[in-house]
């Protein structure tokens, strides 16, 4: 097979890479996906349910992340790529309909949708780019998605712990093979030159997904408030829920938004920072899903005492979000990561103290700790509240 001719579909590294409408359109399905994930966790508020929800989150995140890698490397203005993205969107929609019952009677629908997206998309791109060096990347993906398809499909035909174990093995294969460069027989690992990444575009896509994730908390808070009889306590809970969302938004966009793309561009190995960003954003999205679940619980019964497992769920949301954000900012440890780590310690320390108290008091404590981090940022960045210009220093 001759490779070397540059396909017209491959993005030119020397030209700007703007976000296209088809990418934003694709993201719409994740409004539904994340809502279903929060619903799944709400119905499974126990350790096993949390582990199952995390596994499903990792699967839908991988669908989004690999699609993002594709639209970053290929010119997404091409109608052929837009059709491929829309096809992936339909598959993601079908996959999302199975989310709450994936470990029950809709396991096969979930797996078939997941495999159809990943194997179908990679196979099509491997064929389209067969004469381009970049075509080796989807070819490697075809090999590894075929390998992980075995435990994915096997898990769909068993139940309980066996399904969780097989799917856990499958998602581990999907993630680990990507982390080590998709080594495939005969063609080796993916070299850095095949990534063809547009740093600003890649970073902006992650920022957009965080906005989508935070939007779920807003939507669920509004829905829970609408479905409940109004009381003063519920009014306070509604305010606190919205405040937590706003503070998480501020924490993310006030410090990292302008540094993520330069961090990608300056990395000696262009494969490392995108992997870090992908992991960090996955952790943050997991935190937002937990926060969304907690918001519904908070508004439904604000003066009730949370059962033992629900208290960690309330705290886990902001803890995971701060941990992911600290990972993004670890290259500027004192300026970014340190206050977030301090916030994590404060939240963990407050958990046993707040156990046995009303959930509205728990939410109020979370708001106070997150507000402290925002206040620290405002003092140490020299940026006025509400200023959307880039800060003079991180």
Q: What integer pLDDT is reported at residue 106 of this predicted model?
A: 95
Range from 1-10, 120-129, 155-164, 382-391 carrying the lowest mean pLDDT: 382-391
Residue 141 has pLDDT above 80, yes or no: yes
Q: With contact defined as beta carbons under 8 Å apart, do 122 and 141 qualify? A: yes
User: Does 263 score more than 60 pLDDT?
Assistant: no
pLDDT of 393: 38
Residue 85 has pLDDT above 90, yes or no: yes
State residue 245's pLDDT score: 95
Q: Cα(4)–Cα(74) distance, rounded to whole angstroms?
A: 16
Q: Which residue has the higher pLDDT, 214 or 134?
A: 214
Q: Which of 43-47, 76-80, 93-97 has maximum average pLDDT?
A: 93-97
Q: Which pTM was predicted?
A: 0.88
**Dihedral, CA of residue 254, residue 255, residue 259 and residue 264, to nearest 10:** -110
First-last CA distance in the chain: 48
What integer pLDDT is reported at residue 331 of this predicted model?
59
Q: Convert the pLDDT of each residue in 266-289 to its tens digit.
A: 555 556 666 777 888 999 999 999
Q: How many CB atoms lie within 10 A of CB 60?
A: 22
For residues 191 and 283, give the distance between their C-alpha atoms in angstroms, rounded to a whole number.
26
Question: Residue 35 pLDDT more than 60?
Answer: yes
Least confident piece of the model among 72-81, 256-265, 303-312, 330-339: 256-265
Residue, of 216 and 199, whose pLDDT is higher: 216
Per-residue pLDDT band for 358 (boundaries 50, 70, 90) equals confident
Select from 76, 377, 35, 174 the least CA-distant residue to 387. 377
- Distance, in Å, from the CA atom of 59 to the CA atom of 65, rounded to the nearest integer, reads 10
Higher pLDDT, 22 or 356: 22
Mean pLDDT of 29-48: 91
Give Cβ neighbours of residue 106 (< 8 Å, ≥ 6 apart). Answer: 97, 98
pLDDT of residue 1: 46
Question: Would you tell me how many other CB atoms lie within 10 Å of the CB of residue 157?
Answer: 12
> What is the length of the chain?
394
Give the whole-number percent of the chain exceeding pLDDT 70.
84
- Pick from 118, 6, 120, 28: nearest CA to 73: 6
Is 1 exposed, middle or buried (CB count within 10 Å of its CB: 0-12, 13-18, 19+)?
Answer: exposed
Token duo for residue 333: 């440890």
Lowest mean pLDDT among 157-166, 197-206, 243-252, 294-303: 197-206
Instruction: Give the least confident one: 114-118, 174-178, 250-254.
Output: 250-254
Q: Are 295 and 224 in contact (CB under 8 A)?
A: yes
Alpha-carbon gap, residue 243 to 257, rounded angstroms: 20
Torsion angle of alpha carbons 246, 248, 254, 259, nearest 10°? Answer: -150
The pLDDT of residue 308: 73
Checking if the pLDDT of 344 tops 90, the result is yes
Higher per-residue pLDDT: 335 or 220: 220
Question: 């780019």: which residue's tokens?
Answer: 129
With cut-offs at 50, 70 and 90, classify the pLDDT of residue 332.
low
Residues whose CB falls within 8 Å of the CB of residue 127, separated by 6 or more in sequence, listed in order: none
Higher-scoring residue by pLDDT: 100, 196: 100
pLDDT for 134 equals 78
The per-residue pLDDT of the chain, averaged, comes to: 85
The C-alpha R_g of the chain, in whole angstroms, comes to 21
The answer to whether the Cα torsion of 183, 187, 193, 199 is positive or negative is negative
């Amino acid at each position: 097979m001759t490779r070397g001719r540059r396909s017209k579909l491959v993005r030119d590294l020397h030209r700007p890479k703007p976000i296209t409408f088809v990418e934003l359109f694709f993201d719409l399905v994740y409004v539904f996906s994340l809502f279903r994930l929060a619903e799944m966790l709400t119905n499974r508020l126990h350790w096993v349910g949390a582990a199952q929800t995390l596994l499903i989150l990792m699967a839908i995140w991988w669908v989004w992340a690999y699609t993002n890698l594709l639209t970053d490397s290929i010119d997404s203005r091409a109608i052929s790529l837009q059709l491929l993205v829309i096809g992936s969107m339909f598959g993601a929609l079908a996959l999302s309909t199975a989310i709450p019952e994936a470990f029950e009677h809709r396991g096969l629908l979930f797996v078939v949708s997941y495999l159809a997206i990943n194997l179908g998309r990679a196979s099509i791109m491997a064929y389209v780019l067969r004469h381009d060096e970049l075509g080796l990347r989807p070819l490697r993906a075809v090999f590894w998605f075929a390998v992980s398809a075995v435990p994915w499909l096997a898990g769909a035909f068993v139940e309980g712990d066996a399904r969780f174990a097989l799917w856990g093995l499958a998602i581990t294969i999907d993630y680990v093979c990507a982390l080590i460069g998709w080594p495939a027989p005969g063609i080796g690992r993916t070299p850095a030159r095949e990534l063809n990444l547009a740093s600003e575009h890649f970073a902006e896509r992650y920022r957009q997904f965080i906005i989508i994730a935070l939007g779920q908390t807003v939507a669920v808070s509004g829905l829970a408030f609408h479905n409940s009889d109004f009381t003063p306590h519920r009014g306070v809970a509604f305010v606190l829920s919205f405040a937590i969302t706003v503070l998480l938004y501020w924490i993310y966009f006030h410090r990292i938004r302008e540094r993520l793309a330069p961090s990608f561009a300056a990395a000696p190995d262009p494969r490392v920072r995108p992997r870090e960003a992908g992991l960090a954003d996955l952790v943050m999205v997991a935190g937002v899903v937990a926060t969304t679940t907690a918001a519904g619980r908070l508004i439904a019964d604000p003066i009730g005492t949370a059962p033992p497992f629900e208290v960690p769920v309330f705290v886990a949301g902001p803890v995971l979000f701060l941990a992911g954000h600290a990972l993004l900012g670890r290259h500027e440890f004192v300026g970014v990561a340190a206050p977030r780590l301090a916030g994590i310690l404060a939240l963990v320390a407050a958990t046993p103290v707040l156990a046995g108290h009303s959930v509205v008091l728990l939410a109020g404590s979370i708001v106070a700790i997150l507000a402290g981090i925002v206040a620290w940022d405002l003092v140490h960045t020299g940026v006025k509240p509400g200023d959307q210009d880039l800060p003079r220093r991180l």
